[in-house]
Amino acid sequence: MIERVNAQQTGVPLNRIISTVLVCFLGTCCVAKADDSIQMKLDSQGGAIVTRSQLNPYPRLVAEFEPTQVLLFGVSDWQPAHREILIEIAKKTAGHVNVMILCNNTWQIKDTTEWLLEGSNDFEHIYFREIALDTVWLRDFGPIFSQTATGAQALDFYYEGTRPKDDELPSVWSRLTGTKYVKVPWTIQGGNLICNGQGTALVTNRVFEDNFITFPSPTAGQNPEVERRKMVVDELVKFTNLSQLVVLEPLESESTKHVDMFATFLSPDDVLVAKLDPSADPINAAILDRNAARLQAVRVGEGSMRVHRVEIPVRQGTSWSAYTNAIIASDLVLIPVFQSDPIALVHAAVATYQRLLPEHSVKTIDMTSMKELQGELHCLSLHVPAFAAVPDSIYPFKNSVRAYFPEKIEAR
């Protein structure tokens, strides 16, 4: 049996039928009138800028570049053919950020330990925790953390799908850690919500598809398309306590339609946006340029948002090499790359991050074996911020090695 330790010792679219005053959701009705303190400006290309005049300091939606207590990964259906990715993550996070790997049972802890032993028998920053999941894409179904005046809360957005274990992760995490649990009756995937930590967040207009509203009896003189979008952003802004929500265009022929496939925050005032060679992909190059222009018009702090660009390779079929689908945790940046990427673009991406984040160590992760899965590095991970609790009864990697592979300890 593995020795456990206390965590403290380790240092389908959802359609809603809406009347003019009531939202009926899963048999429950609540008031859903337009909020005059929230203003939405739509543009002709499907984007929007949403601003809110009334804002409380808490809860505060956290940014990923803020201090990270632990970086989560799950190995529920992680196939052996992809184990090199996990090994590389373990190696390159060492000395930078703790990693907790969620496993369905102790047998999976043993198997994952054996995989990691192919890389090293001395991963002191790796921990395991038994939490059963259906898939590996933690970012999209895991808890979304906000800071409160006294600690943390976990937002649990409505989950579309038939993966009950994935759906339960936010509530399970809250129960195990004592974190305040907030159930949100609207849907958004974590990969389609990124925040600067100071009240501004980015999404794509997929949120209007996922939260599609119809009006049985539209009010005379109102535009139902505008009204349904306004109702969605009103609710998202209030549940996340945002002052600004920027709705961007998703990439064309990119299956997730998530914002993390082309943008990431580097600081409260700095955002990195992908760019493409317009001669190779004029449609998506134009989409990215329009998104960059929208962001340049956003006010943060005392000035405009600073928008930086990084060129990404042209898609291959349905596969995208998204250098913004990166992990920024503590003083580390991990950039996903494919072996098919032009080496000049990889080097340029590394140089861009290093120039913009000079205090960080910038490394790449070879994601080639997952190329056809339509997900990348950021999609696999989930940040637990420094102010949030982690579960007790976790298994350090060294304890798992000692329990299952003692000969490896003796070989050190």
Q: Which residues of the chain have pLDDT under 70?
A: 1-34, 410-412
Burial class (CB in 10 A: 0-12, 13-18, 19+), 266: buried
Alpha-carbon gap, residue 257 to 251, rounded angstroms:
6
Domain ranges across the chain: 30-410
For 333, list phi and psi in degrees, rounded to 5: -125, 125
End-to-end CA distance of the chain: give it in Å, rounded. Answer: 21
* Domain at 30-410: CATH code: 3.75.10.10
pLDDT of 238? 95
pLDDT of 412? 55
pLDDT tens per residue across span 80-132: 999 999 999 999 999 999 999 999 999 999 999 999 999 998 999 999 999 99
Alpha-carbon gap, residue 91 to 116, rounded angstroms:
9
pLDDT tens per residue across span 160-217: 888 999 999 999 999 999 999 999 999 999 999 999 999 999 999 999 999 999 888 8
pLDDT of 27? 36
pLDDT of 32? 45
pLDDT of 21? 33
Strands 99-103 and 126-130: parallel
What is each CA distance from 111 to 99, 114, 116, 320, 405, in whole angstroms?
17, 5, 9, 30, 11
Residue with tokens 């660009």: 309
Alpha-carbon gap, residue 236 to 215, rounded angstroms:
19
pLDDT of 160? 84
pLDDT of 222? 84
